[in-house]
Structure 1
Amino acid sequence: MDADLKIPTVAETLKHPAFPTAIWNLEPNRKGLCPVAEGRGGPLNIHYEIHGEGPIKLVFIMGLGGLLTGWQRQTLHFGHHHREKYSVLVFDNRGVGSSDKPLMRYSSSEMARDLYDLVTSPAVGFLPPSPESQTRCLHIVGISLGGMIAQEFACLFPHTISSLSLCCTAPAIKNYSLTWLENIKSRIGMLMPKSPDESVAGVARQIFARGWLPLPDDADLPIVGETPKLLPPPGGRKEYGKFESNAQRFVAQEMHKRMDKSRFGLKGFLLQLVAAGWHNKSEEQLREMADGVGRERILVMHGTEDGMISLPHGEVLMSWVEPARGLVLEGMGHAPSMERTRWFNELVGEWCEVGERLDGRL
């Protein structure tokens, strides 16, 4: 990534009139804290929201350090604009947000089991609790660490999946482009103290494509009153505002997260980092998973400008899984859900239809 690319400062972003509206006030149909991990070091509570009331059960799994609000562009599209078609589940993984943050070893496998406990709970009810009564109905979308959790979920519960989308993720983190010494320095660097400006700008440059960050803010904003649960922003404002650039919108969203110390802290981030760093699925395991889910139901995508999980990781994943659709996208970074929102939402919708047709519901 281009280190000279200018990222708006935290100070100027906090003063921007749109800053209070950066996190959208999307009222869910249901929300709550769900106990999971009984007998696995728990119980611990996972915070979830369900948006929409349609028959298609769509589950979004967020990546390292991300909150459920990171999916707000998808929540708005599927759970509000198309609320009669989809029921959208978003949640905070253990360690972040309003979910519990236990001090213990995190793994992508345990986090996948958290999700299973969540979708089979009476509160969420996406699946019956008895495996014998379960049928394929879940449309799983995971990004980055969320894609690793999705892989584990698909390995453990392939019979529940109607479609599976693995975005900008990896079977394991390898040193495809770094020497051993460079890799060690990179990991140490993640833990070194930095100013907020340095930290947020560094993350932005790793996540997003160079060409997208300086462009004018391209978010399709909620229109208050357009659907029953599209609410005004907090603080008495009547409408949502635009930022000067895509980069500034990211800085604003990141600072909303970081300024709430009860919802985001170093402990939970590092524990999730352990889960990502030690995630490791073999070629044999992923081929068995693809057999169980059905390759015709699987989509894998990766961007050529992904600075978080480099392209060779995605290429290995595609070669092992052999999905029905494998996409290498020129000029895309690590977050297609933000960089290419309309395209991404259309593709997720199309892939849901693929699964629904295979299951005989369309």
Structure 2
Amino acid sequence: MVEDCYGLLQVLELVERGVHIFGVSMGGMIAQQYCITHPDTVLSMTLHMTHAGIGDCIKPPLLTYLMFLKRPKSDSPRDVAESMADFVDTLSHGYRYEKDERGNILENEHNRQMREKVVSFFERISERDGAQNSLGLPRQAVAVMRAPKRLQRLRDVCGKYQIPVVVMHGGRDPLIPVSNGYQLAEAIPHAQLVVFPEVGHDFPEDLTRTFAEQTMLNMKTGELKKNSEKKK
């Protein structure tokens, strides 16, 4: 997948100009490997809710993986969508829903509408070609498991090439614990860490602007570094 990215950038004639990489979850793992393999092409790297490889990462409790074993009530589009919505709600730690003072999700109209919005989204996805192929998630899991650990190589490469890095992570991420964000930020020289305390394994819509601002600031740092090197 790294070489797919590199090949596409070559076709688009972006390699020599340099690129800004943004990766989320498994995408963050691909971004790290790209940075290790082609560091001279990277102007900045922004990572969100990811880890440094199975050999280095801090894993969640084993019971967390039970969510992957849950199956829909039937193969109907609605039941499949409901099952996927349950999965996403677990990953996101229910961030999008209103809660009481104890953190319990309220049964109110706002939450019902939000839930229906999520279910409807997955119903629309189920209509796409290939959406019924159940091998996608297992293949992704195998790719993550087989990927080499990256922490030391990231430390070396980002230090040598002085690549600006921002690491973002949700404080309530059940799948990739937030300790992985701290680990990455501590290992990568001069990396910035941004933690969202109430966010799970999610990319919440109401934080889109914050994600964009952090990413753009990191990109600007990369561009300034590039311009300063040109003047030398």
TM-score (norm 2): 0.77
Corresponding residue to 1:206 among 90, 101, 124: 90
Distance 1:198 1:291, change over 3 A: same
Distance 1:118 1:353, change over 3 A: same
Answer yes or no: is 1:141 the counterpart of 2:22: yes
Cα contact 1:258–1:265 (8 A) shared by 2: no
Structure 1 residue identity aligned to 2:96: W
Q: Partners in 1 of 2:161 and 2:134 — Cα distance?
A: 36
Partner SS, residue 61 of structure 2: coil
Q: Partners in 2 of 1:323 and 1:170 — Cα distance?
A: 17
Q: Partners in 1 of 2:10 and 2:173 — Cα distance?
A: 34
Q: Partners in 2 of 1:201 and 1:308 — Cα distance?
A: 16
Structure 1 residue identity aligned to 2:205: M
1:61-72 pair list within 5 angstroms:
none
1:36-185 pair list within 5 angstroms:
111-121=1-11, 124-127=12-15, 134-135=16-17, 137-173=18-54, 174=57, 176-179=59-62, 182=63
1:1-362 pair list within 5 angstroms:
111-121=1-11, 124-127=12-15, 134-135=16-17, 137-173=18-54, 174=57, 176-179=59-62, 182=63, 186=65, 190-195=68-73, 196-214=80-98, 245-263=113-131, 265-295=133-163, 297-336=164-203, 338-360=205-227
Q: Partners in 1 of 2:212 and 2:132 — Cα distance?
A: 27
Q: Partners in 2 of 1:177 and 1:340 — Cα distance?
A: 24
Structure 1 residue identity aligned to 2:90: Q
Identity of aligned residues (%): 24
Cα contact 1:172–1:281 (8 A) shared by 2: yes
Distance 1:331 1:293, change over 3 A: farther
Q: Partners in 1 of 2:95 and 2:138 — Cα distance?
A: 30
Tell me the matched-pair count. 210
Q: CA deviation at 1:208?
A: 1.9
Q: Partners in 1 of 2:162 and 2:123 — Cα distance?
A: 40
Cα contact 1:214–1:245 (8 A) shared by 2: no
Structure 2 residue identity aligned to 1:206: T
Cα contact 1:172–1:313 (8 A) shared by 2: no
Partner SS, residue 227 of structure 2: coil
1:131-180 deviations in Å (ceiling 9; x for gaps): xxx35x2111000000000000000001111110011100124564425x
Residue 77 of structure 2 aligns with which residue?
A: none
Structure 2 residue identity aligned to 1:178: P
Distance 1:327 1:272, change over 3 A: same
Structure 2 residue identity aligned to 1:269: L
Cα contact 1:139–1:163 (8 A) shared by 2: yes
Partner SS, residue 331 of structure 1: coil
TM-score (norm 1): 0.52
Partner SS, residue 257 of structure 1: helix
Residue 51 of structure 1 aligns with which residue?
A: none
Structure 1 residue identity aligned to 2:21: I
Cα contact 2:166–2:214 (8 A) shared by 1: no
Cα contact 1:305–1:334 (8 A) shared by 2: yes
Structure 1: where are the runs of 5+ without partners?
1-110, 128-133, 216-242
Q: CA deviation at 1:277?
A: 2.6
Structure 1 residue identity aligned to 2:191: A
Q: CA deviation at 1:337?
A: 5.6
Q: Partners in 1 of 2:145 and 2:88 — Cα distance?
A: 20
Q: Partners in 2 of 1:152 and 1:165 — Cα distance?
A: 13
Structure 1 residue identity aligned to 2:52: P
